[in-house]
Amino acid sequence: MKEVLLKTEGLSKSFSSGGVLQHVLKNIDLTLYRGDFTVIMGASGAGKSTLLYALSGMDTPTLGKITFGQEVISDLSSDQLAVFRRRNCGFVFQQIYLMDGMSVMDNVLCAGLLASRDKKALTKRARELFEAVGIEAKLHGKFPTQLSGGEAQRVGIVRALINEPGILFCDEPTGALNSKTGLQVLDTLTGFNKKGQSVVMVTHDMRCARRANRILYLKDGSILGECELGPYVSGDAGRHEKLSAFLQEMGW
Amino acid sequence: MQKSLLIARSNIRKAKGQTTTTVVLILLAAMMLNLWLILSIDYKQNFARTHDRLQDGHVNLLADSREEGITAYLEEQLEEDPRTEALCMTPVLWGTVSFPYNNGDVSCEGFFLSKDAALKRETGRVEFLTESAGSGVYLPMLYGGEGNYQVGDTILFQSEGEELKLTVRGFFNSAMAGSHNCAVNAFLVTEDVYRELEEKPFLYPSIFYSIRITDKNDSQDYEAMVKNLVSKASPQMRALSNSYAMVSQSRYISQSICSGIISALAFLILLIALVVIASNVANYIQENLENLGALKAVGYTGSQLAAALLWQFLGIQTATAAVGIALSYGIFPLVNEMMVSQTGIPYQMRFLPLVALAVLGFLGCVVGLSVWLSARRIKKIEPITALRQGVMTHSFKRNHFPLKDARGPLNLTLALKTAFAGMKRNVIVCITMLALSLVLVFSGLMWRNMIVDMKPFVDLIVGEAADSCLNVDCEREEEFLKVLKGDDRVEKAYLYHTVELRHVGGLALEANLSDDFSRVNNPGVVYRGRFPKYDNEMAIAAKYAREQGLSIGDEIVLTADGHEAAYLITGFTQISNHLGKDCLMTRSGYERMGKLSNASYYIDLVEGTDVEEFHEDVSGRFSGSIHAAINISAVMEGTSAVYVSMMRTIVIAVMVLSVFIVAFVLYLLVRALLNEKKRDYGILKALGFTTGQLILQTALSFLPTVALSLALGLSVSALTINRLVALFLRGIGVMKCTFVVPVGFIVIAGAGLTLAAFGIACLLSLRIRKIAPRVLLTEGGV
């Protein structure tokens, strides 16, 4: 029996644009489980990113309830949500969003020191994570603009994982990278997931989706279907066929 | 040019916020520059215009003798002088009078003349501002107005223990005898009152000579010649004189102080405006690198793009400066009201096109230069580099305060990182705070030495002060001193008598005589060398010594009562009573030339003694032998009230302006910082930083520069302010300023301004609330 990590009930989100109300998420009931690598797919404008930042407490829903463990996060204020995020969430963005004015190490510690005051332990963990993602020690003092796209995104992953988050939220993490560096990033994420890290990723890239054990397909603000792929094994041809068939069924 | 104008219009539309800040600063700078120029050019010339309109004398002499032989001699000699243009002689009644004024007293050498006689004078005319029927007195307009005399009021003159009550019938304007700052002060009375006054023993029949000369620049030399004539005509005759050079300065002291302060503030605001404009141009280039690259790619030259910025700022500057100039005319009546209470000469405001053009032209030049110098970078932009967002946006050289080594709290460390990363921001804060420090220290100095306790101001400007001054006949001097010695109300009494001397080959000097200068209350009068001790010694005003090329140790020949004597200069004084034409000598030293017929004694009284009562007692005891009894404290209060009030207004204005400038500069910087760091704030919020933490970081990031600049600025200003003020007052003879530096005020002002800056930065950073982390996701970048 999988442990429930995050649950939504009747989650809806609407925006007013030019005086017209747009319902981006419609009455979504969803459960995410600890240790899963969940991918959210869908066409552009389906509401993937809106769902991601509603789930992660970056935004509040218009209606509905989101529960993380025992805590209802949909009722929290923006400052309470900030505290929730620092304790429970890690983020990997498509545009990476490292702070240009800080060194690689400081980008990571800046997030880490929010949740822990043990600087020594944090620095040690940061070094271990850097090693795990293949970032050499000589890069720790560099500025983000001095890194390649792949290196920067791996630093982004280290920053996201420094506080050992309950869930790692990834928004198109390979979207701005070339195929080789994109693959390195995916390998990194898959590696952490295998060690028990829960991951929720928004993507429209089949390569990324193949890494997941669970696919959710979003259409017009509702979950149209979902597919269980099982644990990722490299070179599993059957997995690819199953995913293709699911996506075909969803109208991809 | 048309292309540049098009780009300029588009820039203004896009950068409304930056345009607003530039507008406010230029508006203030133009307004204050125009005010300063009106005050220092036209307002000062108002004296010359009034003087010409009234055909007033360039040199005036008040002599207490109507003896035919003397007046005929003086008239003949004066008329024979080729420099004399016109001479007018009028019989008057002269007395040393005091009367209530500005919640205190004013004591002056006043002369009463009949209104009809005054109206007949061709030289030294007066103009009436208010008139009413009935017998009484007409006062110089200085003593009228709110809080002072009104038509119908009774004025109480006191002289030699006698009282004289007159009804005020109106006010008049006189250039050379319309204020106690003129050395001689005129009071016009109706014919019947004049006849009554002729019977008063304390008013001496005298002649008032008004002389117009061909070149007003010779007024001081001419005055010296007149005094020489007087001592030749009758060494015993009491005489007082003034000159155009002296009166035009002494009646405009407040104007000099006020225009000095306004000019300092104007240039401070202008400096901030220029720094802000330069910063705006740099920000514009940074933020529009891609657009500039695109424009260059389609064929615009670097000069055209720089010219667009130049047009943009010159357009804003010209329109705004014009409004600022107009505003200065709106504000001027308030400044005028403050000035008139000291000058006592009404000023008719008029539009000064040349001054306005000078302000517009000057601002155009400095703004243009600032824009052009900052916009030069555009020429270096390569289109392809700019389109790729080039390297210009990323030029980090050092990772300040690495988090793994930093010891302080996280928010403080991140604030310090921001502070150290923004050198341009720090420079603007630093310049602003340094300039404000000087202004604050100056305000504190004036507040402490003029408003809280006037003693240092009195010591510096007046020279010597005590509680009371009694002038006694020398014949009864011994008896007088014996009485004072036995009076337990008297703490200290010492001779401090002023006489007039002439430096052979030089000008007339006021000499302060004492038996023993070690007893005076203000030993700071001699700022270099020492007081005279022996009868062949004297100390001389440093200003006069410099003009005459005299040094300590030099010998100087003086004349008084027709006798000459040589004296050795032992020290330099800085008494500014007679605009730097003073000297000190012992009584025995003076008596080598002349003899005193009466002597003024300065008296310090025991705390709580009623000065007026003391005067009444002593005057009663020495009936007829006390020629003047001056309540010095009351006179100080009365004559200084206008300066105190002016200084209070200036100090308040400076404090308000300081807070406004700090708020304004911080507004600009916080806004720029928030724009620059919007993306970082989004990231930090996504990572879990709360709005409060980010506001704290932003506000804290300004504190190191604010606090350090203020500490440095206030310390340096406190250490140098006395030297700067002395430089400012050198014109009136002050060489070494000994004002008390208000350390407590400075520390409190520094701490207050730092806290205010922190509070203002917190308030301005509230905009961070509006930055939501989801902008990172929705906009794919910020």
- What pLDDT score does B782 carry? 34
Which of A52, A85, A96, A106 would best serve as a mutation to test chain B binding (most B beta carbons within 10 A)?
A106
A123 lies within 8 A of chain B by CB: yes
More confident residue, B162 or B701: B701
Using the predicted structure, report yes or no on whether residue B322 has a pLDDT greater than 70: yes
Q: Is B350 part of the contact surface with chain A (CB cutoff 8 Å)?
A: no
Q: Which residue of A has its CA nearest to B778?
A: A49
Please state, rounded to an integer, the average pLDDT across all residues of chain B.
86
Residue numbers of the domain that contains A192: 36-61+75-250
Based on the fold, state whether residues B264 and B118 are members of the same structural domain. Answer: no
Tokens encoding A194: 């295998």
A99 contacts B691? CB cut-off 8 A = no
Question: Pick from B394, B404, B690: which is nearest to A105 by CB?
Answer: B404
How close, in Å, is residue A172 to chain B by CA atoms?
A: 10
Quote the minimal CA–CA distance from A14 to chain B in Å.
Answer: 14
CA dihedral A52, A53, A54, A57 (to 10 degrees): 130
Coil/strand/helix, residue B399: coil
Do B36 and B110 reside in the same domain of the chain? Answer: no
In a domain, A23, yes or no: no
In SS3 terms, chain A reads as CCCEEEEEEEEEEEEEECCEEEEEEEEEEEEEECCCEEEEEECCCCCHHHHHHHHCCCCCCCEEEEEECCEECCCCCHHHHHHHHHHHEEEECCCCCCCCCCCHHHHHHHHHHHHCCCHHHHHHHHHHHHHHHCCCHHHCCCCHHHCCHHHHHHHHHHHHHCCCCCEEEEECCCCCCCHHHHHHHHHHHHHHHHCCCEEEEECCCHHHHCCCCEEEEEECCEEEEEEECCCCCCCCHHHHHHHHHHHHHHCC
Put simply, the answer to whether A91 touches B689 (Cβ < 8 Å) is: no
- pLDDT bucket at B276, cuts 50 / 70 / 90: confident
Paired with B139 in beta bridges are B171
Q: What is the pLDDT of residues B659-705, one digit of tens each?
A: 888 887 888 788 878 877 888 898 999 999 999 999 999 999 999 99
Rounded-to-integer distance, Cα B141 and Cα B344, Å: 6
Q: What is the pLDDT of residue B781?
A: 37
CA-CA distance, B487 to B122, in Å (whole number)?
Answer: 52
Decide if A126 is inside a domain: yes
To the nearest whole Å, the CA of B688 is away from the closest chain A CA by 4
| Chain A, chain B: beta-carbon pairs less than 8 Å apart | 99
CATH number of A51's domain: 3.40.50.300
Can you give the pLDDT at residue B707? Answer: 94
| Chain B residue with Cα closest to A116 | B410
Among the ranges given (B19-33, B131-145, B451-465), the one the predictor scored with the smallest mean pLDDT: B451-465
pLDDT at B561: 75
Rounded Cα distance between B286 and B389, Å, is 9
In contact, B553 and B540? CB cutoff 8 Å: no
Mutation pick from B687, B694, B770 vs chain A, by most beta carbons of A within 10 Å, is: B687
Is B81 contained in some domain? no
* Cβ within 8 Å, pair A109-B680: no
A142 CA: distance to closest CA in chain B (Å): 9
C-alpha triplet B96, B100, B101: angle, nearest 5°: 105
**Total of domains in chain B:** 4
Q: Both B448 and B387 in a single domain? A: no
Domain membership flag for residue B225? no
Q: Is residue A157 a part of any domain in this protein?
A: yes
Q: What value, to the nearest 5°, has the Cα angle with vertex B142 and ends B137 and B146? A: 95
Q: How many CB atoms lie within 10 A of CB A14?
A: 15
CB contact at 8 A, B389 and A100: no
Of A95, A99, A143, which has the smallest distance from its Cβ to B780's Cβ?
Answer: A95
Distance from CA of B777 to the nearest CA of A (A): 7
- Interchain contact B410–A (C-beta under 8 A): yes
Query: What local confidence, expressed as pLDDT, does residue A156 receive?
Result: 93
Among candidates B437, B306, B375, which has minimal Cα distance to B710? B437
The strand order across the sheet containing A214-219 reads A89-92, A167-171, A198-202, A37-42, A214-219, A222-228
A176–chain B Cβ distance below 8 A for any pair: no
Predicted TM-score (pTM) of the model is: 0.72
Answer yes or no: do B746 and B647 share one domain.
Answer: yes
The distance of Cα B41 from the centroid of its chain, to the nearest Å, equals 15
Same-domain status, B102 and B198? yes
**Residue in chain A nearest B390 by alpha carbon:** A145
Q: Do B124 and B170 belong together in one domain?
A: yes
User: Inter-chain contact B683–A97, Cβ cutoff 8 Å?
Assistant: yes
- Tell me if A211 sits within 8 A of A232, measured CB to CB: yes
The CA–CA distances, whole Å, from B128 to B115, B247, B413 equal 10, 20, 71
Nearest to A105 among B402, B683, B772 (CB): B402
In this prediction, residues B734-754 reach a mean pLDDT of 89
B682 interaction partners in chain A (CB closer than 8 Å):
97
CA-to-CA distance for B422 and B418, rounded, in angstroms?
Answer: 6
Nearest to A82 among B682, B689, B781 (CB): B689
Show pLDDT as tens, one digit a residue, over chain A (252 residues): 789 999 999 999 998 877 788 899 999 999 999 999 999 999 988 999 899 989 999 888 999 999 998 899 999 998 899 999 999 999 998 888 898 889 999 999 999 998 888 899 999 999 999 998 889 999 999 999 899 988 999 999 999 999 999 999 999 898 878 888 888 889 999 999 999 999 999 998 888 999 999 999 999 999 999 999 888 887 777 888 899 999 999 988
B484 and B457 share one domain: no
The mean pLDDT of B503-523, rounded to a whole number, is 86
Give the integer Cα–Cα distance in Å for B335 and B132.
29
Q: For residue A95, which residues of chain B lie inside 8 Å, CB to CB?
A: 776, 780-781
Residue A57 in any domain: the answer is yes
Angle (nearest 5°) at CA A48 between A44 and A51 = 150
| Residue at A151 is within a domain | yes
Cβ contact B773–A49 (<8 Å): no
Query: Which one of A44, A95, A123 would you mutate to disrupt binding with B, by most B Cβ within 10 Å of its Cβ?
Result: A95
Task: With CA atoms as reference, report the closest residue to A81 among B370, B462, B774.
Answer: B774
For residue A90, being part of any structural domain is answered with yes
Q: Are B682 and B738 within one domain?
A: yes
Q: Answer whether residue B124 shows pLDDT above 50.
A: yes
Phi, psi values for residue B714, rounded to 5°: -70, -40
CB within 8 Å of B88: residues ≥ 6 apart: B57, B121, B122, B123, B124, B209, B210, B211
> Which whole-number Å values give the CA distances from B332 to A55, B36, B40, B325, B645, in the listed order?
64, 10, 13, 11, 17
Which element (helix H / strand E) includes B627? strand B626-631
pLDDT at residue number B385: 67
Question: What residues in A contact B680, CB-CB < 8 Å?
Answer: 99, 101
Q: Say how many domains are in chain A.
A: 1
Whether the CB of A113 is below 8 Å from some CB of chain B: the reply is: yes
- Per residue in B437-485, pLDDT (tens digit) is 988 898 899 889 988 888 888 888 778 889 999 999 898 999 999 999 9
Q: How far is CA B15 from CA B1, B284, B319, B378, in A?
A: 21, 9, 17, 18
Same domain? For B414 and B358 the reply is no
In this structure, the strands spanning A198-202 and A167-171 are parallel
Residue B29 pLDDT exceeds 90: yes
**Residues in chain B within 8 Å Cβ distance of A87:** 688
Domain boundary residue, one of B157, B180, B213: B213
B680 touches chain A (CB under 8 A): yes
Does a structural domain hold residue A25? Answer: no
Q: Which residue in B has a C-alpha nearest to residue A161's C-alpha?
A: B687
Taking an 8 Å cut-off on Cβ atoms, the answer to whether B780 and A91 are in contact is no
Assess if residue B189 is contained within a domain. Answer: yes
Q: What is the DSSP-derived secondary structure letter of residue B350?
A: -
- Scanning B743-772 for CB atoms below 8 A from A yields 772
Taking CB atoms and an 8 Å cutoff, what residues of chain A touch B685? 82
Q: What is the CA radius of gyration of chain A?
A: 18
Chain A positions in Cβ-Cβ contact with residue B688 (cut-off 8 Å): 82-87, 89, 111, 114-115
d(CA A145, CA B389) in angstroms, rounded, equals 12
Which residues have a Cβ under 8 Å from the Cβ of B390 and sit 6 or more positions away?
B289, B293, B381, B382
Pair (B576, B641) in one structural domain: no
Q: How far is B709 from chain A (nearest CA, A)?
A: 24
Contacts of B773 in chain A (CB under 8 A): 53, 58
- Give yes or no for A109 touching B (CB within 8 A): yes
B497 shares a domain with B591: yes
Residues A97/B683, Cβ–Cβ less than 8 Å: yes
Distance, in Å, from the CA atom of B300 to the CA atom of B284, rounded to the nearest integer, reads 17
Q: Which token pair is B302?
A: 């670097």
Q: Is residue B614 one of the residues assigned to a domain?
A: no
Q: To 10 degrees, what angle do helices A149-161 and A179-194 make? A: 20
Looking at the complex, report in whole angstroms how far the Cα of residue A54 sits from the nearest Cα belonging to chain B.
Answer: 9
Per-residue pLDDT at B12: 62
For residue B508, give its domain range. Answer: 468-608
Residues from chain A that touch B775, judged by Cβ atoms under 8 A, are: none
| B286 near A CB under 8 A | no
Say if A232 is an interface residue toward chain B (CB within 8 Å): no
Structure tokens at B230: 């007087």
Residues from chain A that touch B683, judged by Cβ atoms under 8 A, are: 97-99
> Residue A149, CB half-sphere, CA atoms under 13 Å: how many?
15
**A83 touching B, CB under 8 A?**
yes
Burial annotation B287-325 (CB, 10 A radius, 16+ → b, else e): bbbebbbebbeeebebebbbbbbbbbbbebbeebbeebb
Residue A106 forms contact with B (CB below 8 Å): yes
**pLDDT at B169 (0 to 100):** 95
Q: Which residue has the tokens 């463990």?
A: A69
> Within 10 A of B752 (CB to CB), how many other CB atoms are there?
15
Last residue of a domain, one of B338, B361, B395: B395
The reply to whether B261 and B126 lie within a common domain is no
Residue A114 and residue B776: Cβ atoms within 8 Å?
no
User: Mapped to the 3 state alphabet, what secondary structure does B676-743 carry?
Assistant: HCHHHHHHHHHHCCCHHHHHHHHHHHHHHHHHHHHHHHHHHHHHHHHHHHHHHCHHHCCCCCCCCCCH
Sign of torsion over alpha carbons B722, B727, B730, B731? negative
Choose among A79, A111, A113: nearest Cβ to B690: A79
B368 pLDDT more than 90: yes
Q: Where does the pLDDT of residue B392 fall: very low under 50, low under 70, confident under 90, or very high at 90 and above?
A: very low
How far are the Cα atoms of A224, B158, B622 from residue B114, in angstroms, in the given order?
Answer: 110, 19, 32
CB B191 within 8 A of CB B116: yes
Torsion angle in degrees (nearest 10) through CA of B690, B693, B699, B704:
-150
The top-scoring range by mean pLDDT among B139-148, B186-195, B679-688 is: B186-195
B777 vs A93: CB contact, 8 Å cut-off?
Answer: yes
Distance, CA of B139 to CA of B172 (rounded, Å): 6
378-407 in chain B: CB under 8 A from chain A: 394, 396, 399, 402-404
